[in-house]
A and B are shown apart, each in its own frame.
Chain A
Amino acid sequence: MVAVRSDTDQPDARAAFFAAAPVGTAAGAPAVDLSVRIGNLTLHTPVMPASGCFGPELGALIPVGELGATVTKTVFGSARGGNPVHRLTEIPAGMVNSVGIPSRGPAGYLDELHPRYAALTVPTIISVGGHRVSEYAPVVAALGEHGAAYELNVSCPNLDRDGTDIGSDPAAIRAVVAAVRLVTDRPIIVKLPVLVASIADCALAAEEAGADGVCVANSIPAMPLAALTRRPILGNVIGGLSGPAIKPIVLRLVWLASRAVQIPVIACGGVESVEDALDYFSVGASAVQVGTASFARPFAAVEVARGLRERCLIAGLGSIRELLELEAAL
């Protein structure tokens, strides 16, 4: 087709979004400090994508530099294929995925993906998974200095035991973190599952073994059926529920975990807007991750980051903590 630009052509909304400088960055605006520390890593804003819900492809669609970090899809020690179709579906207020975490192993990640993450100018938090307690440290060692921090995805069935999640067993969490601590100085974040007997015990196990933060939480095991045939929609039958449906469940967990540990708690579950982020901050979170919301609105995480700054500016306050103190005093 012949591309004829006309005077009626509008630039696309993406271009306008890039051009709109975030408020408060102009000269003369009061200083707002949204930075957050996780171990020895400082993020300029407490907003990042959730693992598996971001890729370097988004670099051209959103101003990634306005996020505090990127988080990769989980990297496993050995190459894995992924689950049969269908791998995802939508139900009211949530999506269910059983992608199965295809991975090309640390070497494949470093070859193909990492250079594209490194080009994005914000710290890359590499998510690492395993099916045995012993599988995590070798992957982190192989990734070495490439991760600005490591997020350990312990929502994986433990093949050393009866297949219950590693992350539902405080002793296994302790063992994983201790082993990883020996091979890296980079911050370690432990991403916990939802279905645990005591989130406080799990978070505490991570902290005591040397983790620098916990991420609460992963998606929740679920089983969607097709309306007409009443058969499982997902090739894997079971998948992980995410999106707005899980936010109240995760709010409770974040609240409980925040009271149990001193290290930062990163909230992940149904964050779509700055209000959701502030809800999580109000129960103790120090940062948030945005997952499912990014599929329909690729700019969702950037909007949350811009919104936090804007809210502080409007209130004439310098930080989210001051904003929450003001609200708490109402």
Chain B
Amino acid sequence: MSIDTLDERRTADAARRAAAAQARVCAEADAAALDGLISVRPRQAGPRPQPVWDDAEVLVHEPVGERYRRLVLASSTIAHTAQAGQFVMLTVPPSGGDRILLPRPMAIHRRRAAIAGTPERPGTPGTIELIYGIVGRGTRALAAVAVGATLQVTGPLGRGFEFAAGAASALLIGRGVGICGVMGAAEDAAALGIRTTMVLSGQRPEQLLGRADCAELGVRVLEATDRDGSSALTTLAARLRDHFDASTPERTPPDVVMVCGAGVLARLAAELGAFWGVPVQASLEAHMACGLGYCHGCAAPVRTDASVEGPLVCADGPVFDARIPIV
């Protein structure tokens, strides 16, 4: 091995170790942040839609910035019934000799109703839009799916975000692909005339998802990135307090906070909720197999007595109440 290649490989090796350390630190921080934070919400007021599975045509599959990919699927039943914050299980077809066994959970980023055809223009079926990052084998294989192919999709699943009757304003917080977890709430807020501010958080400004969606939905955006330090928890918390205490038309806090993307952000939202005296709903992730509530694979981070099973992320969530525990 020449000195050059040895140096290069040492650099790569160090980067690998740094990434591993970073992954561990993040996982531990999220777990600590969620400890004692979440609980199952009181019974949903309306009915939850009946999930179906569908063979959905891929209408759009394209890169979004350098990190993510957008997938638009034609599935009228799911598009018409999905509630804000619900998700689907996506069955990944084989790719390049790799076979993916378990379906992958993905948030429904946008729902678009079917448009009836006219004599001049053919109609379009109802669609759902998902945005995903490539993480491992499953999402890598997913990225190889061609436009025009069909993807098997099961949904809509889980319990999503819900606005209380009379809510007039909302703060939504999303980080990374977690922005897709809360965008459905922005859609509902727009339809309900709820004044909405959304934090779009991510590592770098050019990676932030959801700018165009927020513009379309009339949502006011606050960007927060690791690049300029504005996503740091204390900085962001101070900025949000200022924002709602000084610059909103009525100078009042939002009626509800909804968050998705990291355990530490869920805690930050819960702290803001406690400060303002408003409820906080947080969407969580878990490894899943069925997505329907029978495999018991997706335990939520809630401590229970050894003889009692805690809530399941797919059936009791993914959206939970987040409250700072009283010590």
Contact = CB atoms under 8 A, between A and B. Distances in A.
A226 to B, nearest CB: 8
B126 interface: yes
B50 A295 contact: no
A60 B102 contact: no
B120 to A, nearest CB: 14
A124 interface: no
Nearest to B24: A229
Contacts, number: 183
Interface residues of B, number: 66
Interface stretch (B37-45, B222-230, B272-280, B303-311): B303-311
Contact of B304 (A12, A78, A81, A228): A81
A9 B307 contact: no
A81 B310 contact: yes
B27 to A, nearest CB: 9
A292 B297 CA distance: 12
B100 interface: yes
A99 B294 CA distance: 11
B249 interface: no
B197 interface: no
Interface string B62-90: 00000000000011111011000000000
A79 B309 CA distance: 9
A13 B53 contact: yes
A298 B53 contact: yes
Nearest to A9: B76
Interface string B277-301: 0000000001111101111111101
Main secondary structure of the interface of A (DSSP, over half): loop
Contact of A1 (B55, B74, B138, B191): B191
Contacts of A8: 114-117, 122-125
Interface stretch (A84-92, A144-152, A174-182, A197-205): A84-92
Interface in B151-209: 152, 154, 187-188, 191
Nearest to B123: A8
Given A79-B307, A80-B306, A298 B116 contact: no
A296 B102 CA distance: 5
Contacts of A83: 299
A243 B187 contact: no
B271 interface: no
B19 A99 contact: no
Contacts of A52: 295-296
B113 A3 contact: yes
Nearest to B17: A228
Interface in A283-309: 292, 294-299
A93 B306 contact: no
Most buried by A among B117, B125, B188, B295: B295
Given A9-B126, A229-B24, A1 B53 contact: no
B308 A79 contact: yes
A87 B16 CA distance: 26
Interface string A228-272: 111100000000000110000000000000000000000000000
Interface in A9-37: 9-15
Given A57-B293, A99-B295, A88 B125 contact: no
A88 B104 CA distance: 13
A99 B101 contact: no
B241 interface: no
A80 B296 CA distance: 12
A54 interface: yes
A10 B123 CA distance: 12
A298 B50 CA distance: 15
Given A90-B137, A228-B16, A297-B152, A5 B80 contact: yes
A32 B205 CA distance: 64
Nearest to B79: A1
A295 B23 contact: no
A1 B309 contact: no
B74 to A, nearest CB: 8
Contacts of B188: 1
B318 interface: no
Nearest to B51: A61
Given A10-B125, A81-B310, A92-B98, A3 B77 contact: no
Given A4-B113, A55-B290, A14 B296 contact: no
A209 interface: no
Contact of B287 (A4, A82, A89): A89
A294 B89 CA distance: 12
Contacts of B24: 229, 231
Contact of A93 (B23, B99, B116, B191): B99
A299 B125 CA distance: 24
Contacts of A318: none
Given A12-B76, A297-B91, A298-B154, A6 B115 contact: yes
Most buried by B among A14, A73, A244, A296: A296
16 contacts: A6-B117, A14-B54, A54-B294, A57-B290, A57-B292, A61-B52, A78-B307, A82-B309, A90-B101, A228-B16, A228-B19, A229-B20, A244-B101, A295-B103, A296-B91, A296-B102
Which 4 residue pairs spanning A and B have beta carbons closest together?
A55-B294, A102-B309, A6-B114, A8-B123
Given A8-B114, A295-B290, 19 more contacts: A3-B113, A5-B76, A7-B123, A8-B117, A9-B126, A10-B74, A53-B295, A55-B293, A61-B51, A81-B308, A82-B296, A85-B287, A85-B301, A86-B287, A87-B296, A88-B289, A92-B137, A99-B296, A229-B24
